[in-house]
Structure 1
């Protein structure tokens, strides 16, 4: 009887443990998706605006499609990566301050973000002004580069709108103000579809109509979110404009710049694939096909970026609360969920291959190249479902500076040289370049996984934590 009672107690204990684990997984899943849903929807919509623009333009002219792909995938991607990274750096501070209930600091961080990112964007507009010259120097087709120079001027306005929008998104996201973010994301995307059709097809303005619609699509969420923030939607965290935003802004600049470099190196890495492809034979078809693949990859990457943001917010919030166990569990859940989605996409793009290409082009030749590149696209989707999440963990702990060096070494000392050797020396063309760059991403992912695993989260003196007085992260004696 005594043995049976012990056995019964063990069964009850196992059942209670299983129920506790199920509840823990469910609760963490809800917390992740609360952040991830709008974090996926927002970049999915903003990136989707450009995909829609490219789809409309691609049905007007193959030359204009290649030119738009160049300015978006090469010049704008550099600016976008730096902006996105800088805002993520400030988002780290917002998330930790919110977790530590230092609500008044969030409004200061938002204003600092506006100042920093707008100044950086002003410096970067020279890339758009000299876009055609830059691409010619990089060896691109001169006919495509000349057309691309006209598109580049439109992206100056878009870049400034992005700078403000990303800052607002990060500020609201750290507080889980999800409805307002999702509402304006969907509204801007739907508005873009309507105005692109109205201006370019119905009224006959062609490509100009598409670009006007693109600019309007970013005006809508900017106006809506700024009105929401400044007119009572964030009473605890927004106390109005103040000169205090300039106090101690140097530390925020350092964190923002290191984060901007980290993400920009990542964004530029894929850009190099387009640049190298443009120097190969039949550049127009190759660029069209690659731009379609990168657009598909970019859209899928938005899902991973959603979990990157979720991991960053969850980790920074729990560090603010000093809950180390919750930090570890959040990382595990974010990685597992994102990888599962990536695995589904991996299978889908191996099966469907070129069918998706016809949404962007009428050319059978371009669709055939897309089909040839689909296996590489599928592997890229799988790898990219994991890597950004670990970058999000680094964002949440303020380790952007270290990750910048990891990215630099993995991408530009391993991936890019290997891609050039395979593509040009071994004559594997675009496939060789892409395989080399996938290897660089794999190395970077492995290092980030290793960094996360060896972090001494349980040691209070060695674990990352947020100090309400000092407002930075300390890891193993180092300040960030």
Structure 2
């Protein structure tokens, strides 16, 4: 939900309406902290919920305890994401990096002190996490409040409680867009766990997802960068600069994805060896490598195009695209290939990859056919006016 600020703060900064950045951030705080209250029962009743889902009793009890300890972090997230987007929209990323580096060092020290030296276990882990994340929030807010963002932060304002309905709509559209992507990978893991020889399949998927996670970290950075650049350029009414930025970042990320693609294919027989000593898992990973390589390739471009959508304010449109590509095409096709045609984990992953490929293709077509001159007009909105921007 916090990614709504990528659109609003980015375009406000580009339009030099600096005073609106602080108001947008406070408005997002109101919405996200309210959302935290609605999410709170899941944390409080985690143990009975896990029991209802058939989880192991010991795991349910410990996870429930840990959830209670992590309630402070929940509200920290409600404050932290708007601050991050507020700073990102102004390209103040180095300050965030320094603060995050300090938080990592603090976290390591607290984790050793509380978990290893004092032997506090889960309690120590939760304290370490809570303190570290609250350090990030407090340090970033001090950075903002001490004048490092002139014009963007003018103190707390009652305007934060105005226009909450429209702001909430964009926040929810942003959340739904990301939900569909995140849950898609979760469904893949769950469905693979239902296959024959599930332990080998899940182990193979997990080994592949390890590198996938590292790759995604790179392209989430591209996602944030292009989102900020597109929103800034559209806010400043420079459509050609926005279009050029999209082209450069897409080509750059695609080239990096191609490097991942060729490297994984070249190492297909030995890629899994550092992760396991089970020859069955090594062979299973080798069989998955082609599908995995194409996943890395598509996931180099897809986050960038999603970032373009966020910067331009197309979240609602992309949410519909994700719903159709992932849940109408990808998962049913994967299920059909895996269970009906007995293709196992290759079929399941192949079907989900088809959904990702279709989504990427649609986003490429939309991006190429967008009339960026019309995008800079303030009247453009989804769904009616958006399609007037498509050539």
TM-score class normalised by the smaller sequence: 0.7 to 0.9
In structure 2, the residue corresponding to 1:168 is in which secondary structure? Answer: helix
How far apart are the structure 2 equivalents of 1:427 and 1:142? 33
Per the alignment, residue 353 of structure 1 pairs with: 271
The answer on whether the counterparts of 1:357 and 1:370 sit within 8 Å (CA) in structure 2 is: no
Q: 2:132 aligns with which of 217, 228, 234?
A: 217
Query: Within the alignment, does 1:442 sit opposite 2:353 as a pair?
Result: no
For the pair 1:464 / 2:375, whether they are aligned, the reply is yes
Give 2:220's aligned residue: 305
Count of equivalent residues: 384
What's the counterpart of residue 271 of structure 1? 186
Alignment partners' CA distance in 1, 2:200 and 2:110? 28
Aligned equivalent of 2:88:
173
When structure 1 is superposed on structure 2, of 216-225 and 125-134 the one drifting more is 125-134
User: Matches of 2:386 and 2:106 in 1, distance apart?
Assistant: 45
Q: What secondary structure is seen at the aligned counterpart in 1 of 2:272?
A: helix
Give the counterpart of 1:247 among 153, 162, 165. Answer: 162
Is 1:395 equivalent to 2:310 in the alignment? yes
How far apart are 1:133 and its partner, in Å? 5.5
Q: 1:367 to 1:208 in 2, by over 3 A?
A: farther
Name which of 308, 320, 334 aligns with 1:405: 320
- For residues 141-184 of structure 1, the C-alpha deviation after alignment (integer angstroms, 9 at most, x for no partner) is 67755654454445543332222211111000101112211112
Q: For 2:121 and 2:282, how far apart are their aligned partners in 1?
A: 24
Instruction: Tell me the distance in 2 between the aligned counterparts of 1:254 and 1:321.
Output: 24
Q: What is the match of residue 100 of structure 2? A: 185
Q: 1:449 to 1:287 in 2, by over 3 A?
A: same
Write the distance in 1 (CA, Å) between the matches of 2:293 and 2:74: 30
Contact preservation (8 Å) 1:415, 1:440 = yes
The 1:185/1:417 distance shift into structure 2, 3 A limit, reads: same
Please report how far the alpha carbon of residue 263 of structure 1 lies from its aligned counterpart in structure 2 after TM superposition.
Answer: 1.0
Match of 1:25 in 2: none
Q: Is the 8 A contact 1:418 1:437 kept in 2?
A: yes
Compute the displacement of 1:333 (Å). Answer: 0.7
CA distance in 1, matches of 2:37, 2:362: 34
The change in CA–CA distance for 1:188 and 1:317 in structure 2 (over 3 A counts) is same
C-alpha distance in 2 between matches for 1:322 and 1:146: 55
Q: Paired residue for 1:383?
A: 298
Q: Partner of 1:237 in structure 2?
A: 152
Give TM-score, length-normalised by structure 1: 0.72
Tell me, what secondary structure is at the counterpart of 1:101? Answer: coil
Normalising by structure 2, we get a TM-score of 0.86
Q: Distance in 2 between matches of 1:170 and 1:193?
A: 26
Q: Match of 2:17, SS?
A: coil
1:475 matched to 2:386: yes
Counterpart of 1:334? 249
Question: Does 1:95 pair with 2:36?
Answer: no
Change in Cα spacing, 1:226 to 1:373, as seen in structure 2 (3 Å) is farther
Structure 1 range deviating more: 217-226 or 345-354 = 345-354
Contact (CA 8 Å) 1:304, 1:388: kept in 2 or not?
A: yes
Q: Distance in 2 between matches of 1:110 and 1:447?
A: 32
Tell me the distance in 1 between the aligned counterparts of 2:44 and 2:239: 48
Q: Distance in 2 between matches of 1:164 and 1:303?
A: 24
Residue segments in structure 1 that go unaligned for 5+ positions in a row: 1-85
Task: Select which of 21, 31, 36 maps to 1:116.
Answer: 31
| Residue aligning to 1:17 | none
Is contact 2:239–2:375 with CA below 8 Å preserved after alignment?
A: no
Residues in 2 aligned to 1:192 and 1:365: alpha-carbon distance in whole angstroms: 38
Deviation at 1:429, TM superposition (A): 3.1
1:41-190 aligned at under 5 Å gives the runs: 86-131=1-46, 148-190=63-105
CA gap 1:119/1:410 in 2 versus in 1, 3 angstroms? same
2:342 corresponds to which of 394, 404, 427: 427
In 2, are the aligned partners of 1:90 and 1:255 still within 8 Å (CA)? no
RMSD: 3.0
